[in-house]
Every structure is written in C-alpha cells, then in structure tokens.
C-alpha cells in the first residue's frame, strides 16, 4: 500500500500541507535523537561561531555583525550549530546547559550522518515523492530543530520560498518529521490552509560579493489574519509535508512568562522537484557546492 494515499495527495494539493501517519517508528525517532545527543556532546564551537538563530531580520543582522559573518551562508554543505538567543553571556560562555542551548543543527545532516541519510532516502520518502510524480527530485538541505524547554523565541510566519526560491514557484517542498509529539503546548506548527495559492511577497537574497551584510531581504512579509491559522499537531514518528509557499508559524507566542516546558524535536528536510536546477535561484543563500551538489533523492 502507498504510504501517501490519493486522499493525502488531494489534501496536500488543496491545503498546501498534509499530516501523514507512521513515517518512522518510535525506535527510529529515538535513534535520530540519540545520534543528535552524541553530536551535541562532542560539538566544539569557537567563540566567534557562537551564532544565534532568529527569524527576525534585525536580529539576523546583529548576529552577522557579532559573529563569523559567513557561518550561516556557508553551512549548506556542513553540519553547523545555531543557538538560541540567551544561550551565551557577553563573553560567549554558555549560560544554559549546552544540550539546551541549540535552536537547530543544519544543513547537511542528510549527506554526512548515516542515520539521517537513511531516513531521508527511505522507501517511504521515495514512495511519497513518486506518488507526487516527482521524476528526479534532489535534497536541498536538512535540519534538526530542537525547540528547547525554557529558552528560545517563536518562529514567525514565513514561507519557505522566501529563503528557497525557484522560478516558477512551487518546486520546493518540506518534509517535517516529529521525533517527539508536537502539540499546541510545545510549539507545533500552524498553517493557513490554501495560503500556498497567494504567492510570496518577500525574498532573502545574497548581496553582491564583497558587500555586507551577506544576505538581505527584498519585499516585505504579508500581514496575516491570526484567526485563519489552523493547528497541526503531529504525533511522534508522523510527518508533515508542505509546499514551499505555504505559511507555517509556531502557535504559541513565547516570552519569559510563558516558557515552553517540554522540547519538540524534529528532523526536517527540503526537496526540489528537479535535479537540473535552472529554476534554482542563484540569489538564494543556499547553493550546491563542489563538495556537495544537491544529492538525488532516488539513491541510497
């Protein structure tokens, strides 16, 4: 039986996203989390690379000025660490346990970490892409997102196509796998069904070589009616698939008064529909490199 049914495909096309049951077993989820715990245990981050991650533009600029400016933009073919705001003191020393300090690890787990590679190329994932008629999809990037208890901001409403732009639009899709139950309380995603039909209004682009900052935004984020967001809880081992111009946001507005009390670990990666990438924008922050051309999904 197909892992993704005709009904799932229809829902995905209509709403721009669909929750799919049973991509991974609980044991497979634990295996990915265990491997990440080992990676974090051994991470060695020079002070100048202690880079916080934020979806707010002014905070991104501040980070580029404070840190190693190209730490983010050159992370597409590496495994790098991005921290929560508030993880370090003024001297760059951890002020929270390092296991609780990370926002995400990215962006090439799918290429260099065997357990992540196996999941990314698994028969279910390949079957899903085939069911959607993708002839030669490639993997663009992958991330482990932590959503730590007690620290960290929310993900503001955004469209992935702002960061991963193609012409025509709609060639990129995300697969987001819950490694723990993702609920309205620990920061599952919310979507506006059908918002993939209204295009994008903002892009993050590389700036000309030799200029600073290294990336900038053109256009501005649309404003959205909060009431229209629909919650998308996902059980451990299940997954969410969405189109790149759909709008995810995290549901709960986090502040010092409302800290998250449990983590919400996910493994997520993005696919582009074709191996030949005439549609892949050279202005995107993420570019294939000699070291790591975008790998084909239909390979082991």
Ligand X SMILES: O=C(O)CCC(=O)C(=O)O
- Residue whose C-alpha is closest to residue 104's, from 181, 51, 66: 51
Q: Which is nearer to ligand X, 176 or 229 (CB)?
A: 176
- Please report how close the Cβ of residue 173 comes to ligand X at its closest, in angstroms: 11
Residues 114-143 that bind ligand X (CB under 6 A): none
Q: Regarding beta strands 102-107 and 138-145, do their DSSP bridges make them parallel or antiparallel, or are they unpaired?
A: antiparallel
Q: Which is nearer to ligand X, 65 or 226 (CB)?
A: 226
Q: Which is nearer to ligand X, 134 or 155 (CB)?
A: 155
Q: Which is nearer to ligand X, 92 or 237 (CB)?
A: 237
| Residue 250 is a binding residue for ligand X (CB under 6 A) | yes
Residues 147-166 that bind ligand X (CB under 6 A): 155, 160
| Residue 247 is a binding residue for ligand X (CB under 6 A) | no
| Residue 248 is a binding residue for ligand X (CB under 6 A) | yes
| Residue 268 is a binding residue for ligand X (CB under 6 A) | yes
| Residue 76 is a binding residue for ligand X (CB under 6 A) | no
- Please report how close the Cβ of residue 154 comes to ligand X at its closest, in angstroms: 8
| Residue 8 is a binding residue for ligand X (CB under 6 A) | no
Q: Which is nearer to ligand X, 138 or 161 (CB)?
A: 161
Block residue for tokens 């995905």: 12
SS3 for the chain is CCCCCHHHHHHHHHHCEEEECCCCCHHHHHHHHHHHHHHHHHCCCCHHHCCECCCCHHHHHHHHHHCCCCCCCCCCCCEEEEECCCCECCCCCECCCHHHCEEEEEECHHHHCHHHHHHHCCHHHHHHHHHCCCCCCEEEEEEEECCCCCCCCCCCCCCHHHHCCECCCCCEEEEEEECCCECCCCCCEEECCCHHHHCCCEEEEECCCCCCCCEEEEECCCCCCHHHCEEECECCCCEEEEECCCCEEECCCCCCCCCCCCCCCEEEEEEECCCCCCCECCCCCCCCCCCCCCCECCCC
- Please report how close the Cβ of residue 145 comes to ligand X at its closest, in angstroms: 4
| Residue 145 is a binding residue for ligand X (CB under 6 A) | yes
Residues 170-199 that bind ligand X (CB under 6 A): 174, 176
Q: Which is nearer to ligand X, 145 or 272 (CB)?
A: 145
- Please report how close the Cβ of residue 162 comes to ligand X at its closest, in angstroms: 10
Q: Which is nearer to ligand X, 67 or 248 (CB)?
A: 248
Residues that bind ligand X (CB under 6 A): 145, 155, 160, 174, 176, 248, 250, 266, 268
């Amino acid at each position: 039986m197909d892992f993704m049914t005709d009904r799932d495909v229809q829902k995905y096309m209509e709403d721009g996203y669909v929750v799919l049951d049973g991509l991974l077993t609980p044991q497979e989820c634990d295996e990915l989390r265990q491997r990440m715990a080992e990676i974090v245990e051994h991470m060695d981050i020079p002070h100048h690379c202690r880079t916080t991650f934020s979806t707010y533009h002014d905070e991104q600029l501040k980070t580029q000025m404070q840190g190693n400016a190209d730490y983010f933009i050159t992370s597409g073919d590496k495994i790098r660490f991005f921290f929560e705001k508030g993880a370090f003191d003024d001297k760059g020393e951890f002020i929270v346990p390092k296991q609780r300090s990370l926002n995400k690890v990215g962006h090439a787990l799918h290429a260099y970490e065997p357990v992540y590679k196996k999941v990314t190329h698994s028969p279910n994932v390949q079957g899903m892409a085939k069911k959607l008629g993708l002839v030669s999809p490639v993997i663009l990037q992958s991330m482990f997102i932590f959503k730590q208890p007690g620290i960290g901001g929310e993900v503001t409403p955004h469209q992935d196509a702002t960061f991963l732009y193609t012409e025509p639009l709609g060639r990129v899709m995300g697969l987001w796998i819950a490694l723990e139950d993702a609920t309205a309380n620990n920061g599952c995603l919310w979507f506006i069904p059908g918002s993939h039909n209204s295009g994008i209004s903002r892009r993050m682009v590389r700036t000309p070589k030799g200029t600073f900052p290294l990336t900038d935004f053109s256009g501005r984020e649309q404003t959205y009616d909060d009431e229209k967001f629909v919650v998308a809880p996902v059980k451990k081992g299940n997954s969410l698939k969405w189109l790149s111009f759909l709008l995810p946001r995290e549901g709960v507005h986090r502040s010092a008064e409302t800290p998250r009390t449990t983590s919400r670990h996910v493994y997520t990666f993005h696919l582009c529909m074709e191996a030949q990438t005439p549609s892949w924008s050279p202005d995107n922050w993420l570019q294939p490199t000699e070291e790591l051309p975008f790998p084909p999904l239909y390979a082991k």
